[in-house]
Structure 1
Amino acid sequence: MHEPDLRTRATAPALPGDQLRNCASYYSGYGRREDGAGALLYRSGLEHPLYNGVLRWRGTDGTDGTDGTDGTDGAGAAVTAAGSRLAGLPWFWWVGPDSDEGVRDALRARGAVPAGRMPVMGAAIRERPVTTPVEGVDVVRVRTPQDLTRWAQAYARAFGIEERLTLPAERGRPPAEPLVRFSARAGDRVVGTAALLPAHGVAGVYVVSTHPEHRGRGIGTLMSQTVLQAGFDAGLRVATLQASEQGEPLYRRLGFEEWTAYELFTLPAR
């Protein structure tokens, strides 16, 4: 497997937009990335909405996408085009502060249904984090193809995603991507996962999961701290993540605060 070099990372303070760019880099790594005509779209072909979607849309003229002439709006055209590109797949449209306002109305006008809210949280990493050990659990880097298989299977169980999807999703990510994965092991069993994406001057925290039978032991805390520690060692002083409802209290205890949020939409199948 590709071993990213984390020794030469920028130490300049990250801007809020860098957190969104980190998020976009992570999710678009799951599929063929199309970044043009104001839209950032990715398509993996896998049957789960996290693996396909539109992460932002901006009017190509720098406005809200409305031409103001005949009632046809650029956002509506973008929604129609994205629906064609992603036809036959489950997918999300992410609407956040990096998208133009007009896209919400365009989505609703075409029958889009709200699918949830995903807080974007950030934290300063002022000191090297200390990890809180969990008895009987060791944390190791994912280095081999066999490690990756077990890691993908572990987060599938934790997140309720079919294992037939998680492994091809992970294998399909860009080979030169600096994503660093960590496994929590209890004996020969992977009981927790996490990943660091050092991109855009930010330590992106992803795939923090705990096996259902091992929850309540502090594994999620340990894995989050491990990623933050690795980010600090890489010279990064700002961390970001997108929190689930269950994970948000943990991240607040670790010093994260909500900066903004994405609204997720799904569109009816064509």
Structure 2
Amino acid sequence: MMSPNDQRELIQLADLNLAAMIRHRMKMAPNGLLQEQDGVLLFTIGCPAANGHLNGVLRVNDETDAVKILDRARRFFQPLKRDFMVWVRDERDDDLEQALRDAGFTVDREPGIPCMALQRRLDQVSPSADIELRSVVSAEDVADYAQVMVAAFGMTNEVARAVFGETESLVAPQVAAFIVHHNNVPVAAAMTLIAAKVAGIYFVGTVPEARGRGLGEPATRAATNAGFDLGAGAAILQASVAGEPLYRRMGYQLLTRYRWYRSTMH
């Protein structure tokens, strides 16, 4: 059980890691656009995607006025005619959450997306003979990773090209990524990005036909441990409904929650 002081510090570092991941993703996207000013990140991957990681608004300064954030968000996204999500950080964005509700934004998931943390390495599981865990080291590997995400999340090929079109999206000094192959077919993947002294675990997914067999766990464990190998003091991730029980079993603990508030621009 982490102490309150550890929890507060990790929450701050998790926010910083999330912001770093957004910056990395927008830099890698051919048509990505990032505007960072007055404590707010406004960003688009360059194509429609109802996902707060790809088209959204993140407050990075607690003092930034909530109403001004919404005004800037509208001015940023309206010319693009693109839907977007506004991130709300639990217990830190109460004023922003109220402003969003007053403005008619709708919450995407309640009570929110669990942000979970781990402060130790994990034992690496030994896969069966037909399972192989591979590091992402080439453009071909990045393409395989992208196709796992397309199948796992229903991601369009346009979005996949925007997110993973550059090899450096997954092959970079601060990034490590892994793919699980079953009978030489890519079926699961996970990545980590090191920033703000923590390893952020992102884009963890398993193709539908391979779910329920624990095939995503070796990739998640490898991404977690790679983060510690690269100097992180803790690992953090944002859990899906399906993934949360697995992460708890692995040792991740609830740290805080994020919520997405959805706006439509048409």
Give the TM interval when normalised to the shorter protein.
Answer: 0.7 to 0.9
What does residue 107 of structure 1 align with? 100
- Please say if residues 90 and 259 of structure 2, whose CA atoms lie closer than 8 Å, have aligned partners that are also in contact: no
* Contact preservation (8 Å) 1:134, 1:219: no
Q: How far apart in 1 are the matches of 2:203 and 2:123? A: 19
CA contact under 8 A between 1:184 and 1:223: conserved in structure 2?
A: yes
1:187 is aligned to 183
| Cα deviation, residue 96, structure 1 | 0.2
Consecutive unaligned residues of structure 1, counting only runs of 5 or more, are 1-13, 66-73
What's the counterpart of residue 39 of structure 1?
40
Which residue matches 1:11?
none
- Structure number with larger C-alpha Rg: 1
1:263 has 2:259 as partner: yes
TM-score normalised by structure 2 residue count: 0.83
1:101 is matched by which residue type in structure 2? D
**Map of 1:52 onto structure 2:** 55
Corresponding residue for 1:15?
Answer: 10
Contact 2:47 2:158 survives alignment (8 Å): no
Is residue 2:208 matched to residue 1:212?
Answer: yes
Q: Which residue of 2 aligns with 1:157?
A: 151
SS of the counterpart of 1:244?
A: coil
Change in Cα spacing, 1:222 to 1:96, as seen in structure 2 (3 Å) is same
Tell me, what secondary structure is at the counterpart of 1:49? coil
Say which SS state the counterpart of residue 201 (structure 2) adopts: strand
Per the alignment, residue 93 of structure 1 pairs with: 86
CA contact (8 A) 1:129 1:228 kept: no
Q: What is the CA–CA distance in structure 2 between the aligned matches of 1:108 and 1:165, rounded to whole Å? A: 29
Flag the 1:33–1:177 CA change in 2: closer, same or farther, 3 A.
farther
| Structure 2 gap ranges (5+) | 1-8, 27-32
Q: Is the Cα contact below 8 Å between 2:77 and 2:265 reproduced in 1? A: no
- Greater CA drift, 201-210 or 96-105: 96-105
Contact 1:142–1:183 at 8 Å: present in 2 too?
Answer: yes
| Contact 1:30 1:42 (8 Å CA) reproduced | no
SS at match of 1:86: helix
- 3-state SS of paired residue (2:108): strand
| Contact 2:187/2:207 (<8 A) preserved | yes
Alignment RMSD (CA, Å): 2.2
CA contact (8 A) 2:180 2:216 kept: no
Segment of structure 1 superposing worse, 180-189 or 198-207: 180-189
Mark the CA change 1:98 to 1:135 in structure 2 (over 3 Å): closer, same or farther.
farther
Residue 225 of structure 1: which of 221, 225, 237 is its match? 221
Identical-residue share of aligned pairs (%): 29
